[in-house]
Amino acid sequence: MSDISTTPAIATRFEHRFNHEIDALNQGKLYDPFAFLGPHQVSEDEYELKVFIPGAQQVFYQDKNQQLRYQRIGTSDLFVLSLTTKQYNADYQLTIAYPFATLVEQDPYKFSSTLDANAVYLFNEGTLEQAQRHLGAHWTITNNVEGVRFTVWAPNAASVSLIGNFNHWNTTRHPMRKHPGAGIWEIFIADIADSEHDNNYKFSIITENGERLEKADPFASSMQLPPQTASCVPTKARSAVWQQSPAQAWAQRAERNATNAPISIYEVHAGSWKRDENNHFLSYQAMSEQLVPYVKELGFTHIQLMPISEFPFDGSWGYQPVGLFAPTSRFGSLTDFQFFVDACHEANIGLLIDWVPGHFPADAHGLAQFDGSHLFEHADKRQGFHPDWKTHIFNYDRAEVRSFLISNALAWFDNFAIDGLRVDAVASMLYLDYSRKEGEWIPNKYGGRENLGAIELLKQVNQRCYKNHPGIMMVAEESTAWPGVTNFTDQGGLGFGYKWNMGWMNDSLEYMSCDPLYRQHHHHEMTFSLAYAFSENFILPLSHDEVVHGKGSLLEKMPGDDWQKFANLRAYYGFMWAHPGKKLLFMGCEFAQRAEWNHNQSLDWHLLAQSEHQGVQALIKALNNSYCHQTALFELDTDHQGFDWIDASNAEQSVFSFLRYNKAKDEHVVVVSNMTPACQSNYRIGVPSLGDYDVLVNTDDTQFGGSGFATQTSYIAEYVEWQGFTQSICIALPPLSTVYLVPKTNSSALKNKQV
C-alpha cells in the first residue's frame, strides 16, 4: 500500500482559493457544506476531496489498494486531496490521526441524500402520518454502509450542525445538508456505536441573526434524564419498525375500549403513585410488578398515565413537554416502557396516555424559537402564547406543525400499541379567546372565536388514529358545551370517542360539599347531568385536578365529622359508579387519602392500616366488580334507553332513585342514594318487576366501614303501585348511603360470572 501526499505547491494554491469557506467552517456557518466538502469531480480526469476535521494532525484517504495523505491548508483544519479518476474509489475511508489516537471513519460528505421525496412532500403539505420515521435519528444503510441519518426541520436557520459525544460536541465538525424547498437539514454518520446510553446529540443552529442555539431533536424517541437535555440515538432494535401484536391483542383492545364495555380508569402520576425507601421513582419495570397487579386486584379496567412525554420540570406533572415522541427516561428506557405496556395488556388492562398538543414550554433546548423564528408556535402572541401557563401555543395553521402533531399522536399507537390518548385542555385549543380578555385575542377569518386550525387538527388526529388503529379510544378533556365532541367528523363533530363530563363533576362535587341539612336546596345539582348525559360519550372524571392547588382531597371536601366524611364519600362513589358514563378515579382516592396530592412524594399508603380507609378501598373493588359484571351498569352508558328515574324529585329527603337497563332490557339495577344522615326503615320504591331483589352493593355495609344499619340482603317486590310502577318494595335505607338492588335472577347470574 502506497503513501503519497499532495505537494506543498498544491496546498498553497488551495489556501488562497478557500479562505472564505475556511472562515465559514470555523464559525459553523457554511451554508452548503456538501457542495464544498467530500469528493467532487472537478474535471474529466480529476477528483478533489476535502475534509474539515478540527483537532486532526493528519488525514489519510484509504481504500483497499492505497493510502494517500490529505494536505492541510495553511494552519486551518481543512484538508484537501487531489486524485485522478483512476485513483479515486468511492468506497474510501478516512484514517484520522489525532494527538492521542488514530481513528478510521467514513467521510459523511461522500454520501448522497436518502430522504424520501414523497414523505418530505407530505410533511410540507401537513398530511404526513409517520414523520418520526423520516425526521430525527434513524439507523439505515447507505451505499452498503450502516450508520445513522440525522434529519431536522429548521427552514429559517442559516446553518445547522450535528453535535454529540461522538464528535465531542464540536459545532464545526458535522455541518448538515439543507434541502431548501423543504426546510430540512440532513447528515448521515456511519461511525456511531449501537449503545442505549452513550450516543447523545443535539442540533447546533445558527439563526439568520447569527445567534447560536442548541436544540434537542423534536422527533427523538428518547432523551437524557433531566436536568440533562440532549436527545439519544435509538438502538438498532428500537429504530426498527415496531412489530404489531397478535390479532388477539388487537381484538382485546377493541373489546375493552368500546362504548358498550365497562370502562373504569385509574389515573396515575407515575412519579408519585409509590416511591422506594429512598423516595426515588419506581421504574417502569417496578410499576409493571406493583401497579399493574394492584389495579387488576381493585377491578379497574384501564390505567391512565399523566403525561410521560419527556419534560424538564417535575412540577409541571408532564404538562409542559419538550420531547413529545420520547417517553420520559425518569422511569427507565424505551424497552422498559414497552415492558410496562405489555404487562398492562397481559393483564387485559388498557393503557391511556395523557397527550398535550395544546402548548409547550419556553425551555432553551425545546421547540420555542426553534430555528430563531416562530417555527412551531404562532408568531402573534395573541395566538401563540398562553397567559395562564406562560407557555407557547402551536401554530395549528402551519402544515408542518400539523404533520408533527398528527405523527406524534399516531406514534404512541404505532410504537407502543397503547389503548388511547386523553387529549389535554381541548377547550384551550378550540377557543381563540380562551382565558383572554378583550383585546388580547384576534378573531378568525369569519370574525368568530373558534380556532379553525386547531379544530381541523383535532379532526385529522382523531380520523387518522381511528382509521389506522381501530379499537382505540380518543378522549377529550373538554370543559365547555362545544357541540359534537364525540360525533363523527363527517357529521360535523370533532371525532373523539369519549369526552370528560366536567359538568357532572363540578355539580356533583358542589352538592356533596354541602351540609346535608341544606342539600335539599341543591337537589338539581345531582339531577341536572341527566338532561345531557347522552349528548356525548361521557367519562365521569374525579381526576388529579380536583385534589390539588388548595382544593383538598375528596375526603376533605365532604362535610361533617370523620364518620360522616367517609360515609358521604362512599355514598358519592356508589352514586358515581351507577350514573351513566364511564368512570375515572385519581390514585389515592380509592382509599380516601386525607391530604392533597403531592407530586414530590408517594401516596399515603400507611393509611391502609386504618379500617375506615381499608373500607373505602374495599368498596371501590366491590363497585368495580359489580360494574364490570352487571351489563345494565355499562352497556347503554351512551343511550337514554339505559336509564330511567324512579324518583328524581325527592329533594326534601335528599334521596335519588333510578334504574339502569342493559341493551336487551332483560337485566336492570335499582339504585337508591340517601344523601342525609337520616335512616329510612321502610323506604318504598317502585320497581319494574315482581319477585326477589338482592342487595348487590350497600355502601353502608360494615365491610366498607359503614354503620351496618341495614343487614337484610334481599327484599320481595309486592303488588303495591308506587311511583308509576305496579309493584314496589320497602327497603331499609341506611344513612349517607347508596344501595344497588338487582332481581335475584340477575344476582345469581352475576355470582356465576364472578366465579
Instruction: Give 164-181 pLDDT, tens digit per residue.
Output: 999 999 999 999 999 999
Task: Classify 750 as helix, strand or coil.
Answer: helix
Mean pLDDT for the stretch of residues 707-711: 93
21, 107, 424, 590: which is the annotated catalytic residue?
424
Q: Taking residues 606-613, report their average pLDDT.
A: 98
Question: What is the per-residue pLDDT across 70-103, written as a single tens digit (0 to 9) for each?
Answer: 999 999 999 999 999 999 999 999 999 999 999 9
> Which pLDDT does position 745 carry in this prediction?
78
Q: Answer whether residue 2 shows pLDDT above 50.
A: no
Annotated catalytic, 424? yes
User: Given this model, what pLDDT does residue 21 score?
Assistant: 93
**What DSSP string describes 53-121?**
-TT-SEEEEE-SSEEEEPEE-TTSSEEEEEEETTT--TT-EEEEEETTEEEEE--GGGSPP---HHHHH
Question: Does 615 score more than 60 pLDDT?
Answer: yes
pLDDT at 11: 54
H or E element, residue 431:
none
pLDDT band at 251 (very low <50, low <70, confident <90, very high): confident
Catalytic one of 129, 217, 419, 477: 477
| Mean pLDDT (whole number) for 588-616 | 98
Q: Quick one: average pLDDT of 294-300?
A: 98
More reliable by pLDDT, 439 or 698: 698
**pLDDT surpasses 90 at 131:** yes
Per-residue pLDDT, 388: 87
- Report whether the peptide linkage leading into residue 262 is cis, meaning its omega lies within 30 degrees of zero: no
Cβ atoms of 472 and 465 closer than 8 Å:
yes
Q: Please say if the pLDDT value at position 448 is more than 70.
A: yes
Q: Mean pLDDT over residues 540-564, rounded?
A: 96
pLDDT at 194: 82
pLDDT exceeds cutoff 60 at 104: yes
Mean pLDDT of 40-69: 95
Cell (9 digits) for 348:
387485559
Which pLDDT value is given to residue 9? 52
Asked if residue 200 has pLDDT above 90, the reply is yes
How high is the mean pLDDT of the chain? Answer: 93
Mean predicted confidence (pLDDT) in 607-612 = 98
Q: Which pLDDT value is given to residue 556? A: 97
C-alpha cell recorded at residue 423: 387529549
Q: pLDDT tens for residues 660-684?
A: 999 999 999 999 999 999 999 999 9
What is the per-residue pLDDT for 58?
Answer: 97
The question of whether 440 is a catalytic residue gets the answer: no
Stretch 130-146: mean pLDDT: 94
What's the CA angle centered on 713, arms 707 and 714, to 5 degrees? 140
| Whether residue 247 has pLDDT greater than 90 | no
pLDDT-derived band at 252, boundaries 50, 70, 90: confident
Count Cβ atoms within 10 A of the Cβ of residue 42 and give its class: 0-12 exposed, 13-18 middle, 19 or more buried.
exposed
Taking only the tens place, the pLDDT of each residue in 148-164 is 999 999 999 999 999 99
CA atoms within 13 A on the CB side of 547: 27
Share of the chain above pLDDT 90, in %: 90
Looking at residue 466, its amino acid is Y
| pLDDT for position 755 | 38
| 442 has a pLDDT exceeding 70 | yes
Confidence band, pLDDT 50/70/90 cuts, at residue 4: very low
Q: What burial class does residue 272 get, using C-beta atoms within 10 Å of its C-beta: 0-12 exposed, 13-18 middle, 19+ buried? A: buried
Mean pLDDT is lowest, of 59-63, 73-77, 243-247, 531-535, for 243-247
Q: In terms of DSSP H, where are the helices of 469-610? A: 502-512, 524-527, 554-557, 562-578
Residues 682-700: what's their mean pLDDT?
97
Query: pLDDT of 373-421, one tens digit each?
Result: 999 999 999 998 998 899 999 999 999 999 999 999 999 999 999 999 9
Is 239 a residue whose pLDDT tops 90?
Answer: no
Per-residue pLDDT for 196 more than 90?
no
What does pTM read for this prediction? 0.94
Distance of CA 432 to the CA centre of its chain: 24
Contact 178, 184 (CB under 8 A): yes
State the pLDDT at residue 244.
45
